[in-house]
Amino acid sequence: MANVFTNIIKNLTGQQPTDIESLIKHTENVNLVCKGCHGEIQKHTLLKNNMICPKCGKYFRMGGKERIKWLADKKSVEFMFDDYESRDFLEFPGYSEKLEKSRKQTNEKDAVVVGTAKIGGKPFAFFVMDSRFMMASMGSVLGEKITSIFEYAKKYSLPVIGFTASGGARMQEGIISLMQMAKVSGAVKRHSTAGNLYITVLTDPTTGGCTASFAMQGDIILAEPKALVGFAGRRVVEQTTKSKLPDNFQSAEFLLEHGFVDSIVPREKLRDTLGTLLEIHSAGGAAV
C-alpha cells in the first residue's frame, strides 16, 4: 500500500514524500513486501513499474497527488481549492482524532485532490480520491472540492477526469455526508448538459455512496484491473443472500461482464487511453 510505503520512507528519511520522483529519490534502499505474493520487491522497481508488483501483478494503491503526477504531463499539474478542512460539526465521537491522525499520516487536509492538468498537451480538470485518508469517505470537504472543480470545468469548458476510491459516506458528518452525493451530482449534471466530457476511472476500492453517485455518472467509465467496485459491502451481501459469493464478485471484471463499465484499462495503458479519449472529444463531431 502506498501509505505503508510513504510511512516507511518517512521513518527512514524523516521526510514525507509527496510524488513519484521524490519517492524514487528517497527509497533507493528499501525492500517492500507485496500483499499479493508476499514476495520482496525493491521499491524503485515497483515505482518504475507503475506501482504494480512485477512478480504477481498486484496493483498497489496510489495516493492522490502521486496519482495525478504519475499520469499527467510533467509540470502541468495545478492543484486547486486545496485549503478546505473538515470540521467536526456534529461533535461525533472520535472524529476530530481520526481527522488529525489522517492529516498527519498523509500530509493532506482531506481525501481528495482537485485541479487542472494536461495529457499530451490536452487540458482537463481532475479529481483524485485518496483512500489513505479515512478510506476516502465522503464528507463536506470532499463534496465541496469535487463540486467546485466541476463548476470550474463547466465555466472553462474543460473535460473532467475523476479517479474514484471510497469506502462510502463519512458517517461522522451524518446526513450532510449523504447530501454531498446530490450536491456533486448536481454539478455533474450541469457540466454534462453544457456538453462537456466526464470520464471516471474506478480504482480499488470504489463502494457505497460513491458508486451510487458520481462514480457511475461518467460519459465513459473505465476501471483498473481487479478493482473492488460495488454498492453494498461484501459481508452485508453475503448475510443478505445467505451464501458465499464468487471470488470475482464486485470486481471490475464482474462489472464489465454485467455491462456497467466501458473498459478495464491496465495502468501502463491508462495515460494513452485517456489521451486518446481527450483527443477524440476535443476534435468536434463531424456531424456538426
Partner 1 sequence: MTPYEKLKTARASTRPTGSAYIDQIFKNKIELHGDRRFGDDAAIVSGVGFLDDGIPATFIAIDKGTDLQSRLAKNFGCPKPEGYRKALRLMKQAEKFRRPVVCFVDTLGAFCGAEAEERGQGQAIAENILEMMGLKTPVITFVIGEGGSGGALGLATADRVYMLENAVYSVISPEGCASILWKDSNKVADAAACLHITAQDMREFKVVEGIITEDFDHFDKMCNSIRHQIKKDIKTLSAMSDEELLENRYNRFRQFGYFTRTVDDEDEM
Return residues touching partner 1 (CB under 8 A).
Answer: 80-81, 83-87, 89-90, 92-94, 140-141, 143-144, 147-148, 151-152, 155, 169, 171, 173-183, 185-190, 192-193, 208-209, 211-217, 230-232, 236-237, 240-241, 243, 245, 249-250, 258-260
**Judged by CB, which is closer to partner 1: 125, or 270?**
125
Q: What DSSP character marks residue 105?
A: H
**Minimum distance, C-beta of residue 104 to partner 1, in the bound complex (Å):** 17
Q: Measured from the CB of residue 136, what is the shortest distance to partner 1 in angstroms? A: 15
CB of 160 to partner 1, least distance (A): 14
Nearer to partner 1, 36 or 174 (CB): 174
Q: How far is the CB of 179 from partner 1 (least distance, A)?
A: 4
Q: How many CA atoms lie within 13 A of 210 on its CB side?
A: 36
Report residue 162 CA to chain centroid gap. Answer: 7
Question: Grid cell 481520526 — which residue?
Answer: 98
The C-alpha atoms of residue 71 and residue 50 are separated, in whole angstroms, by 10
Nearer to partner 1, 127 or 214 (CB): 214
Of 6 and 166, the one with the shorter C-beta distance to partner 1 is 166
Nearer Cβ to partner 1, position 99 or 278? 99
Q: How far is the CB of 173 from partner 1 (least distance, A)?
A: 7
216, three cell numbers: 457511475
Report the nearest approach of partner 1 to the CB of residue 83 (Å). 4
* Cα–Cα distance for residue pair 248/253, rounded to 1 Å: 7
Cα 192 to the center of its chain, rounded Å? 21
- In this complex, which beta carbon is closest to partner 1, that of residue 136 or of residue 215? 215
From the CB of residue 222, how many other CB atoms can be counted at a distance below 10 Å?
22
Cβ of residue 138: shortest distance to partner 1, in angstroms? 9
CA distances in angstroms from 182 to 16, 73, 120, listed in the order given: 35, 32, 33
Residue where the block lists cell 492529516:
103
For 150, the enclosing helix (H) or strand (E) is helix 140-155
Cβ neighbours of residue 193 under 8 Å, at least 6 residues apart?
Answer: none
C-alpha triplet 237, 238, 244: angle, nearest 5°:
140
Nearer to partner 1, 128 or 141 (CB): 141
Classify strands 112-119 and 78-80 as parallel, antiparallel or unpaired. antiparallel
